[in-house]
Chain A
Amino acid sequence: MSELTLTVMRLGFLAVLWLFVIVAVQVIRSDLFGTRVTQRGAARRGGQEARAQRQAAAPPPQQRRQEGGRGNNRQRRGAPTKLVVSEGSLTGTTVALQGQTISLGRAHDSTIVLDDDYASSRHARIYPDRDGQWIVEDLGSTNGTYLDRTRLTTPTPIPLGAPIRIGKTVIELRK
């Protein structure tokens, strides 16, 4: 076999090997959209200013695109798009609201696993009713779920931005 062919194959093999690595890294990169990374520290310290700024400015383009692309599952205007943990050990965690039921509690299969001594294993759940209104329901917890200051006894609609308190954790729905 000629020297030239072997040299070409040698370099070709290295090129193909590196191409595989690069494609793999691209796959990882495109995989990142599946998760959202939230800075907890920033939300806590500059929370008030940041929120004021966000309200003043137009909604970020990314979020608008997300809403536009939702298609048939489109939500009503003014409906919350995410659930934010604003106090407690999980501060800064957000969960996108996409019509799924969100379970809260210490059980490992909960959507939001509360690491909180005052939470029951299946503490509460948050789900949309048929009109798309989000409802919070206490699932018979020991220490109760509070919406604003009142302890929940029945499934209750959640106003935008109203704090839901479970033990030391406070969550709210935001646009």
Chain B
Amino acid sequence: MSSSTTNTTTIGTIGAPSRRNTELAMLVFAVLIPVFAYINVGLAKDGSVPAGVLGYSLGLGLLAAVAHLVVRKWAPYADPLMLPISTLLNGLGLIFIWRLDQEHSLGKAMAPNQLMWSTFGVALFLGILIFLKDHRVLQRYTYISMVVALVLLVAPVFFPGVNGAKIWITIPGLGSLQPGEFAKIIIAIFFAGYLMVKRDALALASRRFMGLYLPRGRDLGPILVIWALSLMILVFETDLGTSLLFFGLFVVMLYVATERTSWIVFGLLLSAGGAVAVATFESHVQIRVHNWLNPLELSNGGVTETAQAMYSFGSGGILGSGLGQGYSRLIQGIAPKSDYILATVGEEVGLAGLMAILLLYGLLIERGIRTALAARDPFGKLLAIGLSGAFALQVFVVAGGVTGLIPLTGMTMPFLAQGGSSVIANWALVAILLRISDTARRPAPAPAPSTDAEMTQVVRP
């Protein structure tokens, strides 16, 4: 086909079967891999199978089984891969956190807590599947979600920062919460509802200039507002990751809604300009960029965290050092179990394993975008794109930061990294995607009995 026919395909569904048995088989597989990894870590660290292996595998298996049964009952036509991939990533995350817990120099054990948060996450997942019968209900809450998301994004400003970034809400006695993780789902709902209504105005009213469709000045309003907000997050919360995620998500959804490349150009220009402007006066951002450009510079008696992460990737090589046999305890960073967990993964399972895990993320995102393609209503399409786009951006921002592609930002790897808010929010995200995919893949209802046939029925005396 010549290039002129790109973008001219139509994808129509022909009643697909439910694929629940495929999901069950994949789910069993997804539970067995972390159990295998758990035994492997135990054997490598202590020379014996860890004592908790039975309880752990039963626990993870039980969670997966309950989740599967609920999906079978309440979302029978949902995508067969999202649940197994999420379970596998969450299970592997638990193993890596438990493995880092074995290094006593890295602080107190966090795996039990993470298991508890994962359970809450799965519970929320189940709750959403059971009570959210139709994702279009969310459309009613377009502007309420805007307000809620803004409150969630702004709230951390009033709480003390942790390690230089103000992304936490601390409730004394209860623990802390990262509202940005939940805000990304809620803001996706707002963008989807807003853009569905406004996309014609944004797409059609434009002037052509140098091969680009330039939007009218007044239509630039929303993107400028969002841009200003994301810059304010950057300035007041000094959080590069949330700011990037927030603005990137808007540009992605704007592009999908309007099919105008000019929005992407505008978005990139605005974000680059904004980042440079903020970096000139914000010291926290300056330090991050400086560490990114000069990772080997000595500070605090050692090289930067970026360089330490690179050392661990290098020490892992192609095939890795083996689970439990790496030297992650040498990473003296602030967060080896959350932000830097990818360094441990890279060291212990090597490039081969890291690529497999990144592919798993890629597959999960692909299923989300596939759901958006298959969805029949514009709101569902935009929401699915928004949620998978947010997920993709987050993976990119974290993986790019740890591997040294972009300056490091304080975000967590979805499912893999330690962090309660993150794991709960991501399970909720997967639940909404599953709900949309169930609606999208459900075969058309059986033909309604023809009303005309009834009217012309012969009535016998």
Chain A contact residues, CB within 8 Å of chain B? 1, 5-7, 9-14, 16-18, 20-21, 23-25, 27-28, 31, 33-42, 90, 92-96, 98-101, 108-109, 111, 113, 127-130, 135, 137, 155
Contacts and interface: CB of A to CB of B under 8 A. Distances in A.
B363 A36 contact: no
B197 interface: no
A101 B1 contact: no
Nearest to A30: B22
Interface of B: 1, 4-5, 8-17, 19, 22, 26, 29-30, 32-33, 36-37, 40, 43-44, 47, 80-81, 84-85, 88, 319-323, 325, 349-350, 352-353, 356-357, 359-360, 363, 366-367, 374, 376-379, 441, 444-448, 450, 452-453
A101 B376 contact: no
Given A31-B16, A31-B19, A92-B10, A13 B353 contact: yes
B96 to A, nearest CB: 12
A10 B80 contact: no
Contacts of B16: 31, 33-35
A95 B444 CA distance: 11
Q: Which 9 pairs between the two chains have the least Cβ-Cβ distance?
A: A34-B16, A41-B5, A10-B322, A40-B8, A108-B377, A41-B8, A17-B356, A101-B447, A93-B10
A48 to B, nearest CB: 17
A17 B446 CA distance: 41
Nearest to A36: B12
Contacts of B359: 21
Contacts of A23: 26, 29
B350 A14 contact: yes
12 contacts: A10-B40, A13-B37, A13-B40, A13-B323, A20-B88, A24-B84, A28-B81, A34-B15, A35-B11, A40-B10, A90-B10, A100-B445
Contacts of A95: 12
A110 to B, nearest CB: 8
B441 A34 contact: yes
A97 to B, nearest CB: 11
Contacts of A24: 26, 81, 84-85, 360, 363
A36 B14 CA distance: 7
A14 B356 contact: yes
B323 A10 contact: yes
Nearest to B381: A108
Contact of A128 (B44, B80, B447): B447
A28 B373 CA distance: 14
Contact of B352 (A18, A37, A41): A18
B10 A9 contact: no
B322 A18 contact: no
A13 B36 contact: yes
Given A17-B353, A27-B81, A36-B12, A155 B43 contact: no
Contacts of B378: 108
B11 A20 contact: no
A33 B63 CA distance: 31
A36 B373 CA distance: 12
A127 B16 CA distance: 21
A22 to B, nearest CB: 10
B4 A41 contact: yes
Contacts of A155: 452
Contacts of A130: 453
Nearest to B40: A9
Contacts of B450: 127, 129, 135
Contacts of B446: 100
Given A14-B350, A16-B36, A39 B377 contact: no
Which of B17, B43, B356, B441 has the most C-beta atoms of chain A within 10 angstroms of its own C-beta?
Answer: B356
Contacts of A113: 376
Contacts of A34: 13-17, 441
Contact of B363 (A17, A28, A96, A108): A28
Given A23-B29, A24-B84, A35 B14 contact: yes
Nearest to A26: B22
B85 A100 contact: no
A40 B11 CA distance: 11
Given A7-B322, A17-B357, A24-B363, A99 B22 contact: no
A23 B359 CA distance: 12
A20 B319 contact: no
